[in-house]
Structure 1
């Protein structure tokens, strides 16, 4: 679908397959807009058809101009800070950043600085844009790679839905202890909290379902390491770290789950995102280059850049 921005309005031509649908059915059934946001759009008269405000239940004709006011100035929600973030993709609806290791995704306390969210707010500020900083998913402090932010409330709910429906494919690369002899495997073990540690998770029969697919890319027999590619069927906290530790191959550098501090960070990188754009319906494949110190780069970066 081709869309156009006109000030605060997002415009598009109602396609043939949406002929006879109403405003209400497009928002509710096609875009799955939650009731609270639907109510806000109603109260703010945020939808027009051919420049006019009409009843939301009237059937629309294909070829009509659908306008919805989703672009508005908002408070960032965090303090802008210049962190020299690396932008991988950006348009009016979303922003994808290549997060460096060593910073949190977002503040955990009011006024906290040095998080990726602070850097995103500064990026918006430099562009004279005013969007609330909305992360769609998270990466652990010591994990690097691609991370999505939504730039308006509608794209936020639509990207959230794609994530919940597992339609945002996230590919990770990890360097683990030990030589994995299988070419691939699926780890299907539920994950729950560790009652003996406030932040750690563990494989637990009473935990939430968790599935991690693993593909071996390269083994380093001398160093007793394996470079792997991981994809997630679920999105549990610390999922890759917990699953790999549970089979005796913890991430190198992941002290919390049994890894040795060979590197200054855990060797985990979110290297690729693949998903369909919520508005243009374009298939996006976004690659996040691995940018870290030379010791990891020699064994890690060559493979992640090439996959």
Structure 2
């Protein structure tokens, strides 16, 4: 684990042994895989110091030296802060994980959409005096509940975006579906593309993008199954499309053949796992079920 401390607008890192001999350029470009443009801005705007002095990006780092990076600055945003009670699952200076309620978009789809989770998180942070511009790292459908990750500043957002792309952020979902699955544990590796007959619907398509969902049946009752799903890819409606393709649509998911036995599709993002981009500790967030006792009965998210 790295030793990091916030010092006003700056993050201080005590150079660890495994960084000794590396350059700041290497830390940004190879270790964090920061985008070239963002790295350039840190360099040209003198946002990196060594022991309080302007850093030479090409000199080897020395163990126990103090690296200071200016991360926490006021940023302009077009998002309007709007109060809605939220449940925080994890938070520090760099990121925040929220347990998303149902019937709420992750982020605005147009300038008039101000009742999203992003608006609510911005209000929560501003009420604490934080003036950064938060970024959602991934999305959940409007009616899906559960853990969703936001970055609080540009560098955290860039690193977490790269981690998501490299499948280093593990997401576990619980779905309640119609029927009993013949194969209780498996992988659905079927490409997903747009349905040309419907503006928002997706479908399994040979010409679509790669999509991989791992699943395991957790519980069966009557003619329904509770299924845990792990995403390797993050395509729109992926779990809904894949389980429908198997012949087991989500309960409540009328778009993909489910019966309207509840007021939304029965899908919950129950667990989120990743390595913290700066402290390098493992973060595991469990999202308690929200407003769904009639949908998910007898399921313990902490046992997944």
| TM-score calculated relative to the size of structure 1 | 0.96
**1:20-76 deviations in Å (ceiling 9; x for gaps):** 211111111111111111121122110011111132112221221111101101234
| Distance in 2, Cα, partners of 1:109 & 1:249 | 33
Select between 263-272 and 12-21 the one with higher mean Cα deviation.
12-21
| Distance in 1, Cα, partners of 2:103 & 2:284 | 25
Match of 1:275 in 2: 274
Match of 1:249 in 2: 248
Unpaired runs of 5+ in structure 2?
Answer: none
Match of 2:91 in 1: 90
Q: Is the 8 A contact 2:138 2:149 kept in 1?
A: yes
| Distance in 2, Cα, partners of 1:293 & 1:285 | 22
Match of 1:304 in 2: 301
3-state SS in 1 of match to 2:37:
helix
Q: What is the Cα-based RMSD across aligned positions, in Å? A: 1.2
| Distance in 2, Cα, partners of 1:77 & 1:17 | 41
Match of 2:186 in 1: 185
After TM superposition, the runs of 4+ consecutive aligned structure 1 residues lying more than 4 A away are none
| Distance in 1, Cα, partners of 2:6 & 2:112 | 33
Structure-2 change in CA distance of 1:76 and 1:127 (3 Å): farther
3-state SS in 2 of match to 1:296:
coil
**1:256-285 deviations in Å (ceiling 9; x for gaps):** 111111000100000000111111111111
3-state SS in 2 of match to 1:295:
coil
3-state SS in 1 of match to 2:39:
helix
Unpaired runs of 5+ in structure 1?
Answer: none
| Distance in 2, Cα, partners of 1:94 & 1:177 | 36
| TM-score calculated relative to the size of structure 2 | 0.97
| Distance in 2, Cα, partners of 1:304 & 1:22 | 43
